[in-house]
């Protein structure tokens, strides 16, 4: 089974911010207020939010590692 973790910036309402920071004024973006990390694959529903991307890198790495040792749960 293949698992993929991703980290994406989010708006104040929790929606994913998909444009480049440069185009913020062009799109009317409210700004990025944090990040969301998610795991996809094998029915995994893990996700975590934080204001700091670096904190999510460590957590998502740890979560992906849990798939190697035992079936991960959505914690």
Q: Structural domain boundaries of the chain?
A: 4-69
Question: Is 30 within 8 Å of 41 (Cβ atoms)?
Answer: no
Which pLDDT belongs to residue 25?
A: 58
Which pLDDT belongs to residue 71?
A: 55
Q: Taking the model in full, what pTM does it have?
A: 0.75
> For 53-62, how does the pLDDT look when each residue is reduced to its tens digit (9 = 90+)?
999 999 999 9
Which pLDDT belongs to residue 67?
A: 87
DSSP assignment of 14-33 = S-B--S-GGGHHHHT-----
């Amino acid at each position: 089974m293949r698992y993929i973790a991703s980290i994406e910036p989010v708006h104040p309402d929790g929606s994913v911010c998909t444009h480049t920071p440069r185009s913020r004024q062009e799109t009317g973006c409210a700004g990025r207020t944090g990040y969301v990390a998610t795991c996809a694959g094998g029915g995994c529903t893990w996700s975590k939010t934080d204001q700091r991307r670096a904190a999510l890198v460590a957590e998502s790495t740890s979560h992906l590692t849990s798939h190697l040792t035992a079936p991960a749960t959505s914690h």
